[in-house]
Amino acid sequence: MTFPPTTRLPGRISSYADSRQEADMPVRPDRSTTAYFAAAYTILAEDGYAGLKLAQLCERVGVTTGGFYHNFKNWRDFTTRFLEHWHTDRTTRLIALVSQESDPLARLQLLLNTASNLPHSAESAIRVWSTTDREVAVMQRSVDLERLQIVIETFRELSLPEDAARRRAVSALYLLIGHEQAGGVADIEALRWALNALITSALAPDERP
């Protein structure tokens, strides 16, 4: 499930974009920043967050450090923009897409498919990274809350009570996080099976008010 990104949780943390400082001057790109972001995903998936360094990134993209600095002011500017891209592309955008489905059961299946196709190894590295960097931690929390909220809302549309809907949404998020942290024993089909079981059991009569 993506448990994608527009969080409407009461008292949620301020949006990440609102909390970051604005850049002093705009940076004029001379190469698509998406190439850098794609390379960052690959490095995170293969080498973990500790492997995400300037030299390795430039080598993956095929540019010099000078080319990098034509696109980003500094390393922090790059990591901030990469995290914003991850948030927007892998949560906010996906939530907006699945939210177009009006049938809640069909929407849950779309969320399941979305969750199954996330960059799991890279997301695992980002979660580890978030334990050492406050900026990453803020972004990780925002992503988790937005993903959680869309699943709660969708289960509620199946006429589940609020507490039952929340328990199932939290369980789904735990399943996704556990899969991403499982390393060599991760099994995408097992994840799909477990998420589907959560959805199917929500239709049982004893779950309805």
Confidence bin at 205 (pLDDT 50/70/90)? low
- Distance (Å, whole) CA 146 – CA 17: 14
Confidence bin at 17 (pLDDT 50/70/90)? very low
Residue 26 lies inside a defined structural domain of this protein: no
Residue 11 has pLDDT above 70, yes or no: no
Overall average pLDDT of the 36-64 stretch:
97
- Distance (Å, whole) CA 152 – CA 101: 15
CATH of the domain at 191: 1.10.357.10
> Is residue 70 a contact partner of residue 31, using CB atoms and an 8 Å limit?
yes
- Distance (Å, whole) CA 79 – CA 75: 6
pLDDT at 84: 97
Which structural domain, as residue segments, surrounds residue 164? 79-203
pLDDT at 29: 39
Residue 2 lies inside a defined structural domain of this protein: no
pLDDT at 204: 80
Residue 184 lies inside a defined structural domain of this protein: yes
Q: How many domains does the chain have?
A: 1
pTM of the model: 0.82
Residue 44 lies inside a defined structural domain of this protein: no
Tell me which residue has tokens 């973990």: 48
Residue 30 has pLDDT above 60, yes or no: no
Q: Among the listed ranges 108-122, 171-185, 195-209, which one has the minimum average pLDDT value?
A: 195-209
Residue 118 lies inside a defined structural domain of this protein: yes
Residue 53 lies inside a defined structural domain of this protein: no
- Give residue 11's identity as a one-letter amino acid code: G
> Is residue 117 a contact partner of residue 94, using CB atoms and an 8 Å limit?
no
pLDDT at 148: 98
pLDDT at 129: 98
> Per residue in 113-155, pLDDT tens?
999 999 999 999 999 999 999 999 999 999 999 999 999 999 9
- Distance (Å, whole) CA 38 – CA 165: 35
> Is residue 147 a contact partner of residue 173, using CB atoms and an 8 Å limit?
yes
Residue 155 lies inside a defined structural domain of this protein: yes
> Per residue in 61-89, pLDDT tens?
999 999 999 999 999 999 999 999 999 99
Residue 22 lies inside a defined structural domain of this protein: no
Mean pLDDT, the chain, rounded, equals: 87
